Amino acid sequence: MRRSICYCEPNYALAGNSGTWKFTYTTAANLPKGTKLRFDMQSKGRPIDWQIPHTNPKEKDNLIWAELPTGKTLAPANLDTPYGSFEFTIPSEIKQGENFIIHIGSQNSCQRTTQRRRPFHLYIDTKGKGDYKEQPEIFGMDVRGNVLHNLRVIAPSLVARNRRFDVIVRFEDKYGNLTCNAPEGTLIDLSYENLRENLNWKLFIPETGFIALPNLYFNEPSLYKIKLNNLKNNETFLSSPILCLAESPLSLYWGVLHGEWDRADSAENIESYLRYARDEKALQFISSSNFDAEEETSNDVWKLVSQQIAEFNEDDRFVALLGFQWFGEPKTEGLRHFIYSKDSKPILRRKDTKSNSLKKIYKTSNPKEMIAIPTFTMGKTTLYDFEDFSPEYERVAEIYNSWGSSECAAKAGNISPIAGSGKNCIAESAEGSLQKALNAGCRFGFVAGGHDDRGPYSQLFDSEQVQYPAGMTAILAKEHSRSSLIDALQNRSCYATTGEKIILGFHIAQFGMGSEIDTKTRPGLEYNRHISGYAIGTKPIAQATLIRNGTDWSTLEVKNGIVEFEVDDGELLGQIALNPKKEGVTPFVYYYLRIVQEDGHIAWSSPIWVTHNTKKTESSTPAAAKKPRKA
């Protein structure tokens, strides 16, 4: 049986390039007069998608039309669907073996993401009723990486002396796609900043677009950056900072707990979402964060999410966590991101009787197997006032996501406040301030979220809501495994950034961030708290502030764009301790570190608490890595 032929000219395109595209369909059967052909571009109209063309012949650029076998042109009807669909009705018969050609151009922009055999669908209805039941004919065009624009180094942020680690060098176009599209003979010179020995390598650009460099190590504690120099045009690129310590019981892992990306939507394809997080974003951990509503996450979708999370989770490579978002009553419950420590757990739906309130969920769950993260607590519609705070489950809270920070109110000096004007915007509510909750005696670490366009965030992208960069969470853990990362979150051994890999160290009496210390076990803390730490940014640091009890207590000195400090708080603990007069809350002082880079990116360490005159307890958090020595 003869088959129809579909082919594209050209047969490949470079990501983001503009041009004229030609799709030729050679029919294997006669198409009678009045036959309808629907051409689907599979484009949602986003900036990263294939540009949707015009149908008006008066438009000179970015026009779609068809060419009939007679040479005459035919304009389509725009079906106004989210996938860029166009319908042609042929005015005369097209015989077997003749060509029906669809043209798009000129100046039509290709999508900005690479894709092998990118499909374009052509549906055919010979009856002319617009009833497209048959399987479509498919055109396939390869979208390849554009010209080499950026060199990106994927390396750990924190290493110990003489401990070996791997580095990956990605050769990317201006859209972040892997590419080998560079002038012939291009060589990359690789060296280290602050390296004692004069060592450098020459790298070629492989067809894969990346090179793995195994078993690197540093033999002297210091701050390093891997330097890449394109010898063809003398462009230089630097990695994020790598801090080498004499010894470090903990390692630093970067990831996103809740969020999405334009290129990868977890609801559409969870496998692509996880693969993009691991391979393209080079994250070390990720959590699923579908909303509990059945309209978004059916039982079948949740089963698929659970299966893919279990499959992608791999110790020492990529930790995948099973989680979902649950939206309760504003103020008393707010918005939660639940994360499980194990696989094959159920999604808890608010419409179900057994899980329609936080109290029921906490009563029937085990705090060792679940973390409940309050998120976007200062959003007026997602408000959580922390009055019913659960210290067993709510071990960390989200201080920032791409819609703003819940650290404090804008009037109190919030650098990234929740703000927007318009019908669909969400205003800030000071009742959900994390500083207010900390002052009231709640104890939680800080994490950050990313972009989100689901649930209560669904209207924000098309509104006047102020949008910020997607955040990231850093976890200080003993091992790169799910159990170790969950333990670290339980111990609040983590911190938040607005998306950059800013390295933080923060200690009081050698106890790391998230720790609880008391004067019964360390009486000297009554008279003096020795506070030390460091901050190394991807850009020079502009401001470093030590916050005590919710107020800016000390501005730290910045030298050569980094911070390394030791300060003493010599005020009597009993005179400065907060005493909320709340049942079960003993007077205390808490501290945390806020860092602001020159480019505006921020990092917040989790707090450290010093309790005044309590019963003897042991700190629940192991000490983090010691302060680095000067190189």
Q: Which residues contact 234 (CB under 8 A, 6 or more apart)?
A: none
The CA radius of gyration of the chain, in Å to the nearest whole number, is 28
In the predicted model, is pLDDT for residue 615 greater than 60? no
Q: What average pLDDT does range 531-538 have in this prediction?
A: 97
Output the pLDDT for position 422: 84
- Give the separation between CA 41 and CA 27, rounded to whole angstroms: 20
Q: How confident is the model at residue 193 (pLDDT cuts 50, 70, 90)?
A: low
Q: How confident is the model at residue 197 (pLDDT cuts 50, 70, 90)?
A: low
Of 57-61, 122-126, 179-183, 283-287, which range is least confident?
A: 57-61
Output the pLDDT for position 105: 87
Distances (CA, A) of 62 to 19, 59, 173, 316: 9, 7, 24, 48
Phi and psi at 564, nearest 5°, equal -145, 115
Percent of the chain with pLDDT over 90: 84
Within 126-250, strands assigned E span: 137-144, 150-154, 158-160, 165-172, 187-193, 200-204, 210-216, 222-230, 235-238, 242-245
Run of H or E residues at 490: helix 482-490
Output the pLDDT for position 582: 82
Answer whether 100's CB lies under 8 Å from 37's CB: yes
- Model-level pTM? 0.91
Beta pairing class for 445-448 and 396-401: parallel
**Could you report the per-residue pLDDT of 566-590, keeping only the tens digit for each?**
999 999 999 999 999 888 889 999 9
Structure tokens at 128: 């002319």
Structure tokens at 608: 């450290």
- Give the separation between CA 479 and CA 494, rounded to whole angstroms: 14
In the predicted model, is pLDDT for residue 231 greater than 70? yes
Q: What average pLDDT does range 184-208 have in this prediction?
A: 81
Question: Which stretches within 313-389 are classed as H helix?
Answer: 358-363
Q: What average pLDDT does range 352-359 have in this prediction?
A: 95
Going by C-alpha positions, the residue among 93, 112, 242 that lies closest to residue 175 is 112
**Could you report the per-residue pLDDT of 238-271, keeping only the tens digit for each?**
999 999 999 989 999 999 999 988 887 887 789 9
Whether residue 106 is preceded by a cis peptide bond, meaning omega within 30 degrees of 0, is yes
Q: How confident is the model at residue 423 (pLDDT cuts 50, 70, 90)?
A: confident
Distance of CA 311 to the CA centre of its chain: 20
In the predicted model, is pLDDT for residue 198 greater than 70? no
Of 76-90, 134-148, 166-180, which range is least confident?
A: 76-90
For residue 615, the tally of other CB atoms under 10 A from its CB is 9
Strands lying side by side in the sheet with 404-405? 404-405, 396-401, 445-448
Output the pLDDT for position 195: 56
Output the pLDDT for position 199: 63
Output the pLDDT for position 421: 86
Output the pLDDT for position 451: 93
Structure tokens at 532: 């030390």
User: What DSSP designation does 51 have?
Assistant: P
Structure tokens at 348: 């808890």
542 burial (CB, 10 Å; 0-12 / 13-18 / 19+) is: middle
Q: Angle at the Cα of 212 (from 208 to 217), degrees rounded to 5?
A: 165
Answer whether 8's CB lies under 8 Å from 22's CB: yes
In the predicted model, is pLDDT for residue 619 greater than 70? no
Structure tokens at 528: 């003096």
List domains and CATH numbers for the chain: 5-143 (2.60.40), 150-248 (2.60.40.1930), 502-631 (2.60.40.10)
User: What DSSP designation does 310 have?
Assistant: H
In the predicted model, is pLDDT for residue 2 greater than 70? no
Distances (CA, A) of 77 to 66, 73, 84: 11, 14, 11
